[in-house]
């Protein structure tokens, strides 16, 4: 199946065209027995249970009761399939975010909703990002992030860079949180870590580490790493964006 050129001369892969616009009812032949939503739902179900490595065209075809060749009418490669699953997992951001009175609370809500999707579908972190987003849900999420910054004095490139910065933070912190999750087991691991660190480090060579140990900062076992550290880091990232906004405002000509 060859790429389908858009009216303006831009080649849009059939998969993307179908994902954005759906069937138009003009395709000859019998009505298809599958659709992208059904494929996506089955793929996300497998990925949630087994991780991204459990998803393959053959496994998905078996799950759906179709042949692998039937799937190739919709997605032509594993990369397209993964893009479809990610798009479905994120879904429409608009119901997730309430009305916001300022850019900071709007962007914080956007970031928290983004993180919640990753917590629900941690296999998203296994996806290697090789190109900017193009699927409908990803573009919708980008639009909402930019909307939060719409009334700030930041330039358009700065707005894009700001939501990219927040997105990179979300993925990085979520990677740590998912890896360190485990309830009582993670608590035991944290206690073991601080005990070993105390035994291995000497005050002369590592005075700052020892100061942190003596202060109890590394023994805050009652804190929730996934929630508390996420909030601290997000606050710090937003502080940086706020400082940039303040600089832009201070340079703007006064009426």
Question: Residue 21 sits in a domain of what CATH number?
Answer: 1.10.10.60
Q: Which of 54, 70, 90 is the last residue before a domain boundary?
A: 90
Is residue 152 located within the same domain as residue 29?
Answer: no
On whether residue 200 sits in a domain, the answer given is: no
On whether residue 100 sits in a domain, the answer given is: yes
Report, as an integer, the average pLDDT of 178-202. 75
Is residue 13 located within the same domain as residue 80?
Answer: yes
Is residue 58 located within the same domain as residue 165?
Answer: no
Give yes or no for residue 251 having a pLDDT over 80.
yes
- Which residues is 36 bridged to in the sheet? none
Is residue 13 located within the same domain as residue 138?
Answer: no
Q: Which of 71, 90, 109 is the last residue before a domain boundary?
A: 90
At 96, the pLDDT band (50, 70, 90 cuts) reads: low
Is residue 231 located within the same domain as residue 139?
Answer: yes
What percent of the chain is predicted at pLDDT more than 70?
A: 82
On whether residue 238 sits in a domain, the answer given is: yes
- For residue 223, what pLDDT is reported? 59
Is residue 81 located within the same domain as residue 152?
Answer: no
List the one residue out of 110, 91, 60 whose CA is nearest residue 234.
110
Identify which has the larger pLDDT, 158 or 33.
Answer: 158
Domain interval for residue 46: 4-90
Is residue 49 located within the same domain as residue 131?
Answer: no
- For residue 99, what pLDDT is reported? 61
Is residue 106 located within the same domain as residue 173?
Answer: yes
Q: What is the pTM of this model?
A: 0.83
Least confident of 34-48, 112-126, 183-197: 183-197
User: How many folded domains does the chain comprise?
Assistant: 2
As a whole number of angstroms, the distance between CA 71 and CA 58 comes to 9
As a whole number of angstroms, the distance between CA 168 and CA 188 comes to 29
Is residue 111 located within the same domain as residue 148?
Answer: yes
On whether residue 216 sits in a domain, the answer given is: no
On whether residue 86 sits in a domain, the answer given is: yes
């Amino acid at each position: 199946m060859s790429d389908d050129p858009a009216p303006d001369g831009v080649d849009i892969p059939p998969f993307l065209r179908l994902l954005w616009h759906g069937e138009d009812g003009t395709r000859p032949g019998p009505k298809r027995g599958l659709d992208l939503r059904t494929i996506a739902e089955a793929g996300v179900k497998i990925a949630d249970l087994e991780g991204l490595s459990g998803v393959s065209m053959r496994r998905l075809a078996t799950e759906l009761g179709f042949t692998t060749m039937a799937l190739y009418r919709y997605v032509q490669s594993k990369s397209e399939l993964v893009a479809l699953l990610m798009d479905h997992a994120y879904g429409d951001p608009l119901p997730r975010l309430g009305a916001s009175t300022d850019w900071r609370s709007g962007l914080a809500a956007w970031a928290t909703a983004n993180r919640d999707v990753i917590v629900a579908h941690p296999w998203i972190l296994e996806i290697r990002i090789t190109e900017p987003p193009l699927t409908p849900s990803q573009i919708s999420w980008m639009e909402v992030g930019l909307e939060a910054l719409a009334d700030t004095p930041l330039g358009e490139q700065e707005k894009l860079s700001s939501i990219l910065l927040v997105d990179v933070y979300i993925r990085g912190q979520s990677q740590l949180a998912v890896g360190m999750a485990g309830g009582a087991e993670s608590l035991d691991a944290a206690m073991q870590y601080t005990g070993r660190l105390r035994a291995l480090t000497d005050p002369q060579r590592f005075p700052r580490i020892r100061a942190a140990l003596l202060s109890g900062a590394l023994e805050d076992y009652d804190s929730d790493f996934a929630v508390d550290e996420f909030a601290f880091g997000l606050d710090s990232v937003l502080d940086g964006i706020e400082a940039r906004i303040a600089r832009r405002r201070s340079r703007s000509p006064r009426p």
